[in-house]
Amino acid sequence: MKMHLNLFVCAAILASLIGCSDEQKAPVSEEKSLEIVQSSDDRAKIEKAHNKENFTASKAIEFEIVLSFGGKERLNGKMTLATNSSAGKIEYATGKTLLYNSSGIFHSDSMGTDGKLKFAAYTWSYFFLFPYKLSDPGTNWKKKTLPVLREGQHNGYQLTFDSGIGEAPDDWYKIYANSKNNLIDVAAYIVTENKSKAKAEEDPHAIKYSDYRTINDVPIAHNWSFWGWTQDSALTEQLGEATLSNVQFVDVDKSFFEPSNDLIQIP
């Protein structure tokens, strides 16, 4: 999992080919070229379905969120995110604040370890912003045959990242896009931070987006559920859930995402 700040394939592939001499160019079959173009078109359809243009036209979006795993509450508060993913603020019901911007992560005193705070700052934000980050610089996108879900019909894709992109470039996402409306229904993923890719692939998880409601012509999933996921069985057991409410686009100035003097910066 990652928060690709100030980012988030076809063009990258073409650029690499143009940069080679004639002797160095690897032959690309017509079938492969068509697959690349079609996959890129599919990604554009998904972004259009999520109305990325309208989403990014606003400065920020805020919502209340209650999130739990294994019956234990992990997050209860209000999140405000810059729609270009450059900054975010979580204001907890306890009065604590967790904030990130281009300078780093800042938090109220006595909120836990740096690792957990870093995870909280970037992960929940990334899950919300995910449909709008599919074509960020450094992302690689292709069609993928995935295990069938029990509900609905889907097109499958895989999202990976170039080396050096984000906090954990070995992460991947396997995406189920609804074949009728192109909205993302499920995204399976691995978390490679502090572990090897092989170890992370032993325990993939998935987030299921549901209860889409239209806010300013932008469909926003108001319910998330978290599941185990395997290449053989798709979704397995449910691990957690989150409910979003009072979702609205807001106009904030730059100072909103600047840390107050009482916040501590993670080294």
Q: Where are the beta strands (DSSP E) in the chain?
A: 60-69, 72-82, 88-92, 97-101, 104-107, 139-143, 154-161, 173-178, 184-189, 205-215, 218-230, 234-250, 264-265
| Cα distance between residue 12 and residue 37, in whole Å | 12
| Cα distance between residue 111 and residue 114, in whole Å | 9
pLDDT number for residue 195: 82
| Cα distance between residue 219 and residue 247, in whole Å | 11
Domains and CATH numbers, the chain: 10-18+25-265 (2.50.20.10)
pLDDT number for residue 10: 31
* 224 phi, psi to nearest 5 deg: -120, 140
| Cα distance between residue 161 and residue 159, in whole Å | 7
Q: What type of residue sits at position 201?
A: E
Asked if 214 and 249 count as a contact pair (C-beta separation under 8 A), the reply is no
Residues ≥6 apart with Cβ < 8 Å to 30? none
pLDDT tens digits, the chain, 267 residues: what are they? 545 433 333 333 223 322 333 444 455 555 555 455 567 899 999 999 999 999 999 999 999 999 999 999 999 999 999 999 999 999 999 999 999 999 999 999 999 999 999 999 999 999 999 999 999 999 999 999 999 999 889 999 999 999 877 666 789 999 999 999 999 999 999 988 778 889 988 999 999 999 999 999 999 999 999 999 999 999 999 999 999 999 999 999 989 999 999 999 999
What's the CA angle centered on 59, arms 57 and 63, to 5 degrees?
A: 110
